[in-house]
Structure 1
Amino acid sequence: MKLAVVGGGSTYTPELIDGFARLRDTLPISELVLIDPAAERLELIGGLARRIFAKQGHPGLITTTSDLDAGVADADAVLLQLRIGGQAARLQDETWPLECGCVGQETTGAGGLAKALRTVPVVLDIAERVRRSNPDAWIIDFTNPVGIVTRALLQAGHKTVGLCNVAIGFQRRFAAMLDLTPADIYLDHVGLNHLTWELGVRKGGPEGENLLPQLIAQHGDAIAGDLRLPRRVLDRLGVVPSYYLRYFYAHDEVVRELGTKPSRAAEVAAMEKELLGLYGDPALDEKPELLAKRGGAFYSEAAVDLAAALLGDGGSALQVVNTLNNGTLPFLPDDAVIEVQARVDRSGPTPLAVPRLDPLYAGLIANVTAYEDLALDAALRGGRERVFKALLAHPLVGQFELAEGLTDRLLAHNKEHLAWA
């Protein structure tokens, strides 16, 4: 089995390598190719990756290349983990929206739109090159904003599944709180990428006992602390929102907070510099503890589970993924991309049925889906007016003058990445 990782020079990659090494019985990789134009970073990470495999006794071959076409040739699956513009672009995404009194974040709001505009054309080009050389390969998208990017790929006819680590993070956290194994925890996870709610936490599977009321009653303070939301939010809703919902439920508080502390991009850039120094140590043969602070917790386990289901011997698995709606949420179009539990096998994911949603959640999902429609249109066809309309439709913007100001700033800060700007 051959896997290729586009964006293999990311400081995330050792987390992925560690998972591939530990879970080799689940996903028996014979060859892993790390692909990245940043040759110096790629060499550091490739060396560490080989040492991790060697220490854990993994027999697979790890190679590195800056040649995308050569790297993806004959791959059974291609993982995408890109950041167009690097941390410098992320810093801008987190900064200029604050000038308009809006949240500055790389996947949500105006910053998320900027990232989508930069990313979608690049990802589509990569996917087309994968299809030309190997049309049967699965594309696993971990590139944010995952919902919009995955929808672009599916709309273009690619064999694609989107992946996020929010659900697996909740699963691991809740299992520890309930003194259960992660395999014992099934989440009623519903929504869009970075806009989800845990409507149930079930023991053993979809039909199992719902432990969510018990979880909130006994561990509500800890969960609320993780989410950085008041405990009363959990008590009144009776569900656990994704931590990305804080940008909606406490928007003004977040804006004030972001204006008084260093950006996450600056923190990550400093962390990446330190990580790359560690990766260059020829004695290092495991992922360093610092990597846990970088983000992407449990990404490797989620990626292994998904790839194993897509490339396995005919069995299936239940996993939270980003895939086509196809009637699962009846208030959305079939071609919307939703994030829900699905049964995954070699033919791809099939979403499980979802109970009728409370309008409190359905309304916001519908609103953000409409924004994503317009965001994808802007990413595919360009134009200031399309960018403006996407921003005007976003529930965190929604005002004419605000959308005008954000549009001007978005275009000014992203000219080098937008061919049409």
Structure 2
Amino acid sequence: MKLTLIGGGGFRVPGVYEAIASDDAPVRIDELVLHDVSQSRLDTIHAIVDALAPRFQHPPRVTTSTDLAEALAGTDFVFSAVRIGGSAGRVADEHIALAEGVLGQETVGPGGLAYALRTLPFMMTVAETVRDVAPDAWVINFTNPAGIVTEAMRAVLGDRVIGICDTPIGLMRRALQAVGGAAGGEVTFDYVGLNHLGWLRSVSVDGKDLLPRLLASDEALESIEEARLVGFDWVRALGALPNEYLFYYYFAREARERIRSSDETRGQFLDRQQSAFFADPGDDPLVAWQRTLHERESSYMAESREQDEERHAEDVDGGGYQKVALDLMAALATGRPATMILNVGNGSLVPELPADAVVEVGCRVDGDGVHPLPIAPVSTEMLGLMAPVKAAERQIIAAAREGSRDRAWRAFAAHPLVDSIAVAKRLVEAYRARFPEIDELLG
């Protein structure tokens, strides 16, 4: 089988390669094509995967291409993980928001909406090219903001594009471990939300919900990063475990102030770190990559922790999005069923949201595709966050599709982390001034 990785010059690509080349990989990829607009970055990543190849019995053949149609032609799977504007763009996303006194974070709030405006035109080109040169391919999207990008691409590719994220399944895994694992029993769960905004509302073994027992135990909650982020008292009040990104909604003021008072934002850290890596990976790019990766993962969401608190080892080494992508590919390709948490079309799952909206829910995947699992009704409290965020997402998709500045303004104004329509308008104009591609898109 052929896999095309859009964003093949990305820093985390060697981790994807390790997953698909592993001797115990659940599906065998024979050909891996790395696509990127930067040949120099492709060359660096290619050198790293070449160094990794001798470790595996059946490494895939790896080629690179800067031509999108060439890279996608005849592929079986497409994995998308691109960053339009690079890490420098992320820095601007963060700082323009902070300058207006609102949260500056990569995918949450105004930073995520600006990121979407830069990203959607390219991702729609990807969708149209897949439709034309690889119509039977499955597209697995991790390009952020993943929910927005997946929803937009579905207009071209329908159910054959699926959004993934590693945070929900990581939460599910930690919750199950905290209550002693499945011990051979049948595991079921109820997870609902949007990308980077969701809740685990039950986790059952053989029909018995073990979440109440988990929530009652300080010892069990200590092993759950999400519970540590928002506080044991809050998860008990909710009766659910939130996705870690809900920290930015539940503690928006505190998160903003921690980011503003830090020596550098997350984007600045990554820009400095990865610019240095790609500028000079040294004589052994693999060793340099491994060292840089560990520093990157250890500092993830640092603003959500106290200054002297280190990220737990189990939260750093969780398998990552590459494992989610590989499990999804394996279920679709082999027909061996898998249960996952994915970004898919809503249909009637959450009747309060549009049927064609993308939601993040538990799904069963097999050779016939992705089948969302039933969920319990969503509480008004949770809908109170989901609905305005989804409204903002849909307005930003419309803004990109129509080239509408007013739609962009409405998107920023609708988001619950933007507290003024005047601020929303200034944000749109500031992002237009900083990014020529946004200015051109919105006219």
TM-score of the superposed pair, with normalisation by structure 2 = 0.88
State the 1:214 CA deviation: 2.4
User: 1:171 deviation in Å?
Assistant: 3.1
Shift of residue 4 of structure 1?
0.5
CA root-mean-square deviation: 2.4
Partner secondary structure for residue 328 of structure 1: coil
Secondary structure of 2:8's aligned partner: coil
Q: Which digits, 9 at most, give the CA deviation of each residue in 1:179-215, with x for residues without a partner? A: 4379976542210001101112233xxx543222222
Query: Does the CA contact (< 8 Å) of 2:204 and 2:211 recur in 1?
Result: yes
Q: Which runs of 5+ in 1 are unaligned?
A: none
2:190 is the alignment partner of 1:191: no
Contact 2:345 2:356 survives alignment (8 Å)? yes
- Cα distance change on mapping 1:56 and 1:279 into 2, 3 Å: farther
Do 1:20 and 1:304's aligned partners in 2 also have CA atoms closer than 8 Å? yes
1:320 matched to which residue of 2? 341
Q: What's 1:133 paired with?
A: 133
1:298 matched to 2:299: no
Range with greater deviation from structure 2 (29-38 or 64-73): 64-73
Aligned residue in 2 for 1:30: 30
Instruction: Indicate conservation of the 8 Å contact 1:387/1:407, yes or no.
Output: yes
Q: How does 1:13-52 map to 2 (within 5 A)?
A: 13-22=13-22, 24-52=24-52
**One-letter code of the match for 1:166?**
T
Question: Where in structure 2 are the equivalents of 1:255-274 lying within 5 Å?
Answer: 255-261=256-262, 262-273=264-275
User: Are 1:144 and 2:144 counterparts?
Assistant: yes
**Deviation for aligned residue 1:64:** 1.4
Matched with 1:409 is 430
**2:353 matched to which residue of 1?**
332
SS at match of 2:11: coil
The answer to whether the Cα contact below 8 Å between 1:391 and 1:398 also exists between their aligned partners in 2 is no
- Residues 225 and 239 of structure 1: is their aligned pair in 2 closer, same or farther, counting only changes over 3 Å? closer
Say if 1:52 and 1:93 are closer, same or farther in 2 by CA, change over 3 A.
same
In the alignment, the residues of structure 2 paired with residue 286 and residue 163 of structure 1 have an alpha-carbon distance, to the nearest angstrom, of 28
Q: d(CA) in 1 for partners of 2:287 and 2:76?
A: 27
- What is the distance in 2 between the residues matched to 1:48 and 1:224? 31
Do 1:5 and 1:79's aligned partners in 2 also have CA atoms closer than 8 Å? yes
Q: CA deviation at 1:404?
A: 2.1
Match of residue 308 from structure 1: 330
* CA deviation after TM superposition for structure 1 residue 49, in Å: 1.3
CA apart distance, 1:258: 1.1
Question: Which amino acid in structure 2 is aligned with residue 102 of structure 1?
Answer: V
CA contact (8 A) 2:6 2:35 kept: yes
SS of the residue 1:350 aligns to: strand
Per-residue deviation at 1:23?
Answer: 5.8
Q: Distance in 2 between matches of 1:122 and 1:51?
A: 31
1:174 maps to amino acid: A
Deviations 1:397-419 (CA, angstroms, capped at 9, x unpaired): 14222222222222222224443
Going from structure 1 to structure 2, the CA distance change for 1:243 and 1:138 (only over 3 Å counts) comes to same
Map of 1:249 onto structure 2: 250
CA contact (8 A) 1:193 1:339 kept: yes
Instruction: Give the CA deviation at 1:117.
Output: 0.5
**What per-residue deviation string (whole Å, max 9, x for no partner) do you get for residues 144-176 of structure 1?**
011110011112234201111112222343344
Conserved? CA contact 2:431–2:438, under 8 Å: no
Could you say what secondary structure the match of 1:305 adopts? helix
Contact 2:227 2:235 survives alignment (8 Å): no
Contact conserved, 2:139 with 2:161, CA < 8 A, in 1? yes
Are 1:51 and 1:285, in contact at CA under 8 Å, matched by a contact in 2? Answer: no
| Preserved CA contact (<8 Å) 1:121 1:379 | yes
Task: Quote how far apart the aligned CAs of 1:253 are.
Answer: 1.2
Secondary structure at the counterpart of residue 269 of structure 1: helix
List aligned pairs for 1:4-403, cutoff 5 A: 4-22=4-22, 24-158=24-158, 159-180=160-181, 186-203=188-205, 208-216=207-215, 217=217, 218-223=219-224, 228-261=229-262, 262-273=264-275, 275-276=277-278, 281-282=283-284, 284=286, 288-295=290-297, 298-312=320-334, 314-403=335-424
Q: Which letter does structure 1 place at the counterpart of 2:351?
A: P
CA distance in 1, matches of 2:387, 2:354: 10
User: What are the Cα deviations for residues 259-309 of structure 1, in whole angstroms up to 9, with x where unaligned?
Assistant: 111100111123324554796544848972542443595211101001112
Counterpart code for 1:95: H
The worse-fitting range, judged by mean Cα deviation, of 166-175 and 232-241 is: 166-175
Residues 311 and 171 of structure 1, relative CA distance in 2, 3 Å threshold? same
- Secondary structure of the structure 2 residue equivalent to 1:106: coil
Between the aligned residues of both structures, percent identity stands at 36
The number of aligned residues is 417
* Counterpart secondary structure, 1:54: helix
Greater RCO (CA < 8 Å, at least 6 residues apart): 1
SS in 1 for 2:230: coil
> Residue in 1 aligned with 2:309?
none
- CA distance, structure 2, for counterparts of residue 418 and residue 58 of structure 1: 47
Letter in 1 for 2:210: L
SS in 2 for 1:228: helix
SS of match in other structure, 2:416:
coil
In 2, the alpha carbon distance for the partners of 1:323 and 1:41 equals: 32
* 1:356-408 superposed Cα distances (whole Å, 9 cap, x missing partner): 12211122212211111111101211222111111111111142222222222
Which residue pairs with 2:311 in the alignment?
none
Question: Structure 2 counterpart of 1:21, which letter?
Answer: A
Whether the aligned pair in 2 keeps the contact of 1:278 and 1:284 (CA below 8 Å) is no
Q: Aligned in 2, Cα 1:95/1:227: closer, same or farther, shift over 3 Å?
A: farther
CA distance in 2, matches of 1:55, 1:299: 21
Aligned mates of 1:278, 1:211 — CA distance in 2: 50
Aligned to 2:313: none
Q: Which moved more, 1:182-191 or 1:34-43?
A: 182-191
Whole-angstrom distance in 2 between the partners of 1:182 and 1:348:
28
Instruction: Decide which moves more: 84-93 or 217-226.
Output: 217-226
